[in-house]
Structure 1
């Protein structure tokens, strides 16, 4: 019976090379063994059968992952994502369709690896639409040199991939860009040239903006409270001297209005302002 097959499990290995050697020692399944295991998993929910199907195809994952090393991401991470795709393939595999699992699984393995690359190749996600992903994984291999595509070459690539020429040019720009650290490293002596030095706006820092808004609110509320604590004459003098929207009133204008001397108006103003400062200070 195929269910009695013995599989070495690639676990507790010390390096990636040892892992690859381990999975390469796992025996391949015959078509009948594969079919029996797949039926056992689909019809009886036999997880051991599913495990054997996955293990027997781990070398396929390693081979596919190796083809994506040019993106600069860790080989081990690519293999791990491909293994996830392999498990998804086993879950969806139907042995009665007359297709071997190896052919069916390639799509799922690549799909998981593609998703991982798109999310991790750059800090900013480089491809979000289906057309952009097609361009991302085909553009570099279709170029005959490292130079930027121009004119007819752009049109040829666009036609071959079924996308717009402007989408080809945009992806060219994205691929040619590089991530840049916002702050300089701990050993970088040219700290003043790091982007943080000339992009930062201390007045736009969120916590400072909130603090300024809170301070302004407290000042506004405090001003109203301080004015409310004055008598009517003192409040009117302060408002017309300091809070008027147009031209402020002079001491002599207010003196004539209240029938007192300008010096008396000044004394009332000073006393009112001192009282308001005391109340505002208590709110700070």
Structure 2
């Protein structure tokens, strides 16, 4: 199956990765009837074209799962490639008579290949080879409720949930807290690589940008006050009740009852007030 089927090109180059994701998202999803027919053709007649359609229609699932493992600091393209291998294994083993959709069956195989890849390549967990250690590695982060170290009771509860010893939970937490990771990416073979800085850096956290945002917010706030001051009391109340309340903004009918006028009249007052405010803000 893998020797004759051609997958979309994929590399760690950012542009190539974006193009790949766009391409796989363009492949149509299969209906249950289509999936069953193709899977039956593959199982009964070893139809490679049917296998290809099954794989291509589920590549987006691999991309979605790969995003969940970006935090481990490994290239997303590599995670996707490993996941694609798991997807092809799943397609090869899928039996439509089991009564489950391929996406549910394939998720196990996709995650298994990604897990193996992460364990092979993340230095901190090269010794995480037992079943219990692997279970801890991929679940400890999601089970922790904060950044502080686990208490004894928390460790006991987590150990019971995962079916491991408390000592194993505490040991794996120590490895997480003591990891040594290069912040800068290490380029290999001339290809673009990704390090933690690629996803930890906040481009909007530059001091100049923070100052500019604060100044814009201050100007916007003072401008709004000036615009509201240009309105008469009734118009201002209508605008504030309709647009500036955080909870339970008033409806046209609410204000119509309050002022004993029609809802249409309230709308006209509101529209005229908004136009006046726009002129005040532009001044």
TM-score range, shorter chain: 0.5 to 0.7
The SS at the match of 1:15 is helix
- RMSD of aligned residue pairs (Cα, Å): 2.3
The SS at the match of 2:55 is helix
Q: Indicate the residue corresponding to 1:87 in structure 2.
A: 88
Matches within 5 A, 1:68-79: 68-79=69-80
Structure 1 Cα separation of the partners of residues 101 and 7 of structure 2: 23
Of stretches 115-124 and 60-69 in structure 1, the one that deviates more from structure 2 is 115-124
**Are positions 1:20 and 2:53 aligned together?**
no
* 2:10–2:17 contact (8 Å) kept in structure 1: no
* 2:90–2:106 contact (8 Å) kept in structure 1: yes
Matches within 5 A, 1:247-262: none
**Are positions 1:131 and 2:135 aligned together?**
no
Structure 2 Cα separation of the partners of residues 68 and 113 of structure 1: 8
1:9 is displaced (CA, Å) by: 5.8
Structure 2 Cα separation of the partners of residues 65 and 45 of structure 1: 29
**Are positions 1:46 and 2:44 aligned together?**
no
Q: Indicate the residue corresponding to 1:105 in structure 2.
A: 106
Q: Indicate the residue corresponding to 1:34 in structure 2.
A: 35
The SS at the match of 2:179 is coil
Matches within 5 A, 1:1-284: 10-11=8-9, 15-122=16-123, 125-179=126-180
Structure 2 Cα separation of the partners of residues 118 and 9 of structure 1: 25
1:179 is displaced (CA, Å) by: 3.6
Structure 2 Cα separation of the partners of residues 9 and 180 of structure 1: 32
* 2:119–2:125 contact (8 Å) kept in structure 1: no
Structure 2 Cα separation of the partners of residues 9 and 59 of structure 1: 12
1:16 is displaced (CA, Å) by: 0.2
Structure 1: which 5+ residue stretches go unaligned?
1-6, 186-284
Structure 2 Cα separation of the partners of residues 107 and 123 of structure 1: 24
1:121 is displaced (CA, Å) by: 1.4
Cα separation, partners in 2 of 1:126 and 1:71, compared to 1, 3 Å: farther
1:149 is displaced (CA, Å) by: 1.1
Structure having the higher Rg:
1
Cα separation, partners in 2 of 1:148 and 1:168, compared to 1, 3 Å: same
* 2:89–2:109 contact (8 Å) kept in structure 1: yes
After TM superposition, the runs of 4+ consecutive aligned structure 1 residues lying more than 3 A away are 11-14
Superposition TM-score, scaled by structure 2 size: 0.58
The SS at the match of 2:123 is coil
Residues 41-79 of structure 1 show CA distances to partners (whole Å, capped at 9, x for unaligned) of 111111111111000000000001111111111111111
* 1:126–1:174 contact (8 Å) kept in structure 2: no
Structure 2: which 5+ residue stretches go unaligned?
187-283
Structure 2 Cα separation of the partners of residues 148 and 115 of structure 1: 27
Structure 2 Cα separation of the partners of residues 111 and 69 of structure 1: 16
The SS at the match of 1:29 is coil
The SS at the match of 2:63 is helix
Equivalent residue pairs, number: 176
Give the number of the structure with larger relative contact order, counting CA–CA contacts within 8 Å between residues 6 or more apart: 2
Superposition TM-score, scaled by structure 1 size: 0.58
